[in-house]
Amino acid sequence: MAIAKFFHTIKLIVELQEENGMLNNKIRIAIDGPAAAGKSTVAKKIAAKLSIVYIDTGAMYRALTYKALQENMNVEDEDEMTMLLQQTEIRLFQHEDGQRVLLDEQDVTDEIRLEKVSNSVSHVASHAKIRERMVDEQKKLANDISVVMDGRDIGTHVLPNAEVKIFLIASVEERAERRHKENLEKGYTSDLSQLMEDIRQRDERDTNREVSPLVKAEDAISIDTTSLSIEKVVEQILQAIEKKV
């Protein structure tokens, strides 16, 4: 898996941070939680506020899943998926509009959000060999820089020594409503009860898988976003960060 371009961008950011004397205050923020709990929205805002890198780890699992579906492969077969990953190049890079995802040189940033990908990705992410490689790459990406990273196992496995760990939760109803609204705003057809069922199933698979299941790290701060605005959630996380640095 090649991540050279992303490293290059990170190197530039590191140089900038060095120039500004920011590296002495290196901070790693881990944001975990179930599907559609608002992790990426909040993480992007925190990253912008602190001028640090945002890494969306779910995008890596999604890119591999997208390729597997394109090639009509069996996402439940660990050996098939492991072989596929060996022949796959996934690059994350920082664009002025945010993180973009390149799969074998093709920009799939939008495609990996398709419902068919969302409904299959947790199968791919349940395989031990896939996780091992993804987690290795994610650790390298966060090496030596300030980052905010979101996913399911960031506080527990990817960045176990993160200075700040957040676990975002929200009711299934609220999360489905948010996705439904987003879909309608984008002009997509959307079925609220189907969304609720899909989210429930994905949570179930992510929480009950054998390898690094979705679980709150012992030292993570839980925030229930059900009745909170994005701004309020961001404010609470910034306060938690302030206490640490």
Which of the ranges 80-88, 101-109, 119-127, 230-238 carries the binding residues for ligand C5P, by CB under 6 A?
A: 119-127
Which range binds ligand C5P by CB under 6 A, 83-91, 101-109, 147-155, 174-182?
A: 147-155
Residue 112 CA to residue 47 CA, distance in Å, equals 22
130 is a site residue for ligand C5P (CB under 6 A): no
Question: Any contact of residue 206 with ligand C5P (CB under 6 A)?
Answer: yes
Closest CA to 28 of 147, 142, 138: 147
57 is an interface residue for ligand C5P by CB under 6 A: yes
Question: Positive or negative, the Cα torsion across 93, 96, 99, 103?
Answer: negative
**Of the two residues 35 and 217, which places its CB atom closer to ligand C5P in the complex?**
35
Q: Is 160 in the site for ligand C5P (CB under 6 A)?
A: no
Q: Is 63 in the site for ligand C5P (CB under 6 A)?
A: no
Which bin fits 187, alpha (ψ -120 to 50), beta or left (φ > 0)?
Answer: left
For ligand C5P, give the closer residue by CB, 40 or 146. 40
For ligand C5P, which residue of 58, 82, 200, 238 counts as binding (CB under 6 A)? 58
Return d(Cα 229, Cα 237) in angstroms, integer: 13
Among 55, 125, 145, 237, binds ligand C5P (CB under 6 A): 125
- Is 153 an interacting residue with respect to ligand C5P (CB under 6 A)? yes
Which span (55-63, 70-78, 185-193, 223-231) binds ligand C5P, by CB under 6 A? Answer: 55-63
Please enumerate in sequence order all residues whose Cβ is within 8 A of that of 161, keeping only pairs 6 or more positions apart, or say none.
28
Write the interaction track for ligand C5P spanning residues 177-196; mark x where CB under 6 A is met and - where it is not.
--------------------
| CB proximity list for 224: less than 8 A, separation 6 or greater | 169, 170
Sole residue written with tokens 């929200």: 170
- H-type alpha helices, the chain: 4-19, 39-50, 58-70, 78-86, 115-124, 128-141, 172-185, 192-208, 230-244
Residue 61 sits in the site that holds ligand C5P (CB under 6 A):
yes
Q: Smallest distance from the beta carbon of 149 to ligand C5P, in angstroms? A: 8
User: Residue 201 has which token pair?
Assistant: 């199933």
Sign of CA dihedral 149, 152, 155, 157: negative
User: Which residues contact ligand C5P (rule: CB under 6 A)?
Assistant: 35, 57-58, 61-62, 121-122, 125, 151-154, 202, 206
